[in-house]
Structure 1
Amino acid sequence: FLFFCNHPSCTTLRSPFSRIFLYSFFTIGIVSTVVGNFLVVLSIAYFKQLQSPTNSFVMSLAVADCFVGLVVMPYSMIRTVEGCWYFGSLFCKIHSSLDVMLCTASIFHLSCIAFDRFYAVCNPLIYSLKMSHSRVALLIAVCWAVPMLISFGPIMLDLHIASVDFPFPEDLCVFLVSRIYAVMASLVAFYLPMAIMLVAYWKIFKAAKRQARQISAMESQMAAGVGKDSSKKKRHRNTMRRERKAAKTLGIIMGVFLIFWMPFFTLNIVDPFIGYSTEVVVWDVFLWLGYINSSLNPFLYGFFNRSFRDHILLMYMLYSAIFDIFELNIKR
């Protein structure tokens, strides 16, 4: 940031080749984010079999991530590649507000999905009571309302830069925040949802291990007296397989979330306390890591689910058949 403060007229320092490469790379990421999340939304909206409480959170998550790809990432791409902001100071505030709101909404939805899965696995008898349609709607409303409150209000009123004395050039859109806003916003937007996810998935993992052992015990009783030794070995293998699968699934979900968002929110808190001395390229790398999480969510919460894959394949075949019929009629 100090580099840009000393250069009031910003000019791109990238070669034509690097600009083409970066635009191509970011465009692929934007398209995959929009298309992947749109397919999730379309699948849940079209097929009633997919319309469950959990998938309500997944659908709302996909809407948030889709908007990240549509209205946030394209302008961030231009800012990152060109090193300049061509859209005015007012739209800089709007873009920053949308960025904070949509990314925070995405993270909130991830914690709600973890909370929903916790009740489904650990308390299945009261799941339908705890996750009624009205309660799911309320949680989704909170997932959108709280991010809006911590983004548009403070940013549009410049409360996020209270006590920040750096000058802000007209041709740059640098998102600096005060120490108070950095700590409070990061706690609400990331660390609190992260804690919810860690606790929920840890309890789910323990419940999955317990259920795997109970299933193995039932299998051993059914196979008692018939191939006792081989049955015991098979039971042990099945238990280990179930436990590894549960650990792998939950590990991937939490690992991806932490890898792609932890660097940004850690730096977001640290940077105001070290005089905003972090290089712009570091900010860009960490920010785009967070954006990539929005492109991976459809695969983690949608396409890894066999039911989702089957319905998306069915929808693709249906639309392909309609397109072929339409094309055939045109040729005639």
Structure 2
Amino acid sequence: MDNSSLGLLGDANTSLQIELQSCTTLRNQVSRISLYAFLSVGIVCTVVGNFLVVLSIAYFKQLQSPTNSFVMSLAVADCLVGLIVMPYSMIRTVEGCWYFGVLFCKLHSSLDVMLCTASIFHLSCIAFDRYYAVCNPLVYSLKMSRSRVALLIVVCWAVPMLISFGPIMLDLHVAGVDILLPKDVCVFLVNRIYAVMASMVAFYLPMAVMLIAYWKIFKAAKRQARQISAMESQMAAGVGKDSSKKQRHRNTMKRERKAAKTLGIIMGVFLIFWMPFFTVNIVDPFIEYSTEVVVWDIFLWLGYINSSLNPFLYGFFNRSFRRAFLMFIGCRVCLPGSSPGMELSHTKERGK
């Protein structure tokens, strides 16, 4: 989501309007080129990384699961952030001006809010999915049927669209804000009501869902760890004909715990990178839009970085995704012996 500081209001809004009469580029040529290079790398990583996630899940049958349906839809949202939101935000951040007109400013702000909110919603759905997989495995297939997963994905896109395009295109988000902006400045002003309501829906409620889900998963994982330890003791002593069944159950619980750990780390990264933005987003209208522009830019791009990190987290913690990524990067999917149904879990990597 984009926002920008309006500086100190002073005694009246007129002083603010004078400050924003024209946009000027304060950075020198070297710093502008450096910023363009740095932010462009982030954009490329966001697009390529998330595109690899989409390709991997679409191609390999082993990766096509209810959880990965959410992961794939999340990757689509994050990829779109990199394709159609971040490039224009980069130009605005570096140049300090908006060159694309008032209408496109509204459209860009709407897409920004929608896609970033959709990304956050998908993370909460993934946490919800993992909760049932780890804590209630016997009812998981019933609770996470294909139709229910599809419905949740639709919600992940529909609700963000409602809280973005409707209020922004109709100017409801600036109702009561008596500030006029020049055409070459794209500032996402919000009134107090919209700031609180949108932040609650887009961030704080999904965050609460994730925290509750992962707390219950953490407790279940500790309980399962004790069960695994007991099974290992039994198997070491020689359990008899049921040992293979217990080995499969042990491996299943280990996989679920590892998946929960991975997604817990993803959530931790999400909190670190998005919490500063949404905190300031609520506070800023109540302190007369006095947050410095550099603070907004830093917090905004921290949120964007979250969209680029998820694919790397999958690749680092998930062996199947790691191998799928390497196969696409090395064009090995075109070689003889490669097929959508191939096994991705068996690799030559050790200790992982």
Quote the Cα distance in structure 1 between the aligned partners of 2:83 and 2:159: 21
- Offset at 1:66? 0.2
* Residue 272 of structure 2: aligned partner: 259
Q: 1:285 aligned to 2:291?
A: no
Under a length normalisation based on structure 1, what TM-score does the superposition of the two structures give?
A: 0.87
Q: 1:78 aligned to 2:59?
A: no
CA separation of 1:182 and 1:7: change in aligned 2, threshold 3 A: closer
Q: Secondary structure at the match of 2:68?
A: helix
One-letter code of the match for 1:288? W
Does the 8 Å CA contact 1:205/1:250 hold for their aligned counterparts? no
- Offset at 1:301? 3.8
Quote the Cα distance in structure 2 between the aligned partners of 1:247 and 1:135: 21
* Residue 155 of structure 1: aligned partner: 168
Does the 8 Å CA contact 1:263/1:286 hold for their aligned counterparts? yes
State the identity %.
83
- Offset at 1:302? 5.1
How many pairs align?
A: 306
Quote the Cα distance in structure 2 between the aligned partners of 1:247 and 1:298: 16
Q: Secondary structure at the match of 1:176?
A: coil
Quote the Cα distance in structure 2 between the aligned partners of 1:246 and 1:74: 33
* Residue 232 of structure 2: aligned partner: 219
Find the partner of 1:174 among 175, 180, 187: 187
More helix by share: 1
* Residue 59 of structure 1: aligned partner: 72
Does the 8 Å CA contact 2:217/2:260 hold for their aligned counterparts? no
Q: 1:112 aligned to 2:125?
A: yes
- Offset at 1:276? 0.5
* Residue 326 of structure 1: aligned partner: none
Residue by residue, what CA displacement relative to the aligned partner does 1:7-46 show, whole Å, maximum 9, x if unpaired?
4121100010100010000000000000000000011111
Q: Secondary structure at the match of 2:222?
A: helix
- Offset at 1:319? 5.0
* Residue 311 of structure 2: aligned partner: 298
* Residue 235 of structure 1: aligned partner: none
Residue by residue, what CA displacement relative to the aligned partner does 1:211-247 show, whole Å, maximum 9, x if unpaired?
000111222234459xxxxxxxxxxxxxxx99x9789
Choose between structure 1 and 2 for higher RCO, CA contacts under 8 A separated by at least 6 residues.
2
CA separation of 1:156 and 1:35: change in aligned 2, threshold 3 A: same
Q: Secondary structure at the match of 1:174?
A: coil
Does the 8 Å CA contact 2:23/2:185 hold for their aligned counterparts? yes
One-letter code of the match for 2:87? P
* Residue 2 of structure 1: aligned partner: 7
Under a length normalisation based on structure 2, what TM-score does the superposition of the two structures give?
A: 0.83
* Residue 202 of structure 1: aligned partner: 215
Does the 8 Å CA contact 2:327/2:333 hold for their aligned counterparts? no
One-letter code of the match for 1:2? G
One-letter code of the match for 1:291? Y
* Residue 44 of structure 1: aligned partner: 57
One-letter code of the match for 1:85? W
One-letter code of the match for 1:168? L
CA separation of 1:307 and 1:208: change in aligned 2, threshold 3 A: same
Q: Secondary structure at the match of 2:112?
A: helix
Q: Secondary structure at the match of 1:277?
A: coil
Q: Secondary structure at the match of 1:21?
A: helix
Point out the more displaced range, 300-309 or 85-94. Answer: 300-309
Long gaps (5+) in structure 1 = 226-240, 323-332
One-letter code of the match for 1:107? I
Does the 8 Å CA contact 1:11/1:83 hold for their aligned counterparts? yes
* Residue 121 of structure 1: aligned partner: 134
- Offset at 1:297? 1.2
Does the 8 Å CA contact 1:58/1:302 hold for their aligned counterparts? no
One-letter code of the match for 1:96? S
* Residue 196 of structure 2: aligned partner: 183
Long gaps (5+) in structure 2 = 1-5, 9-15, 239-253, 336-352
One-letter code of the match for 2:194? Y
Does the 8 Å CA contact 1:44/1:51 hold for their aligned counterparts? yes
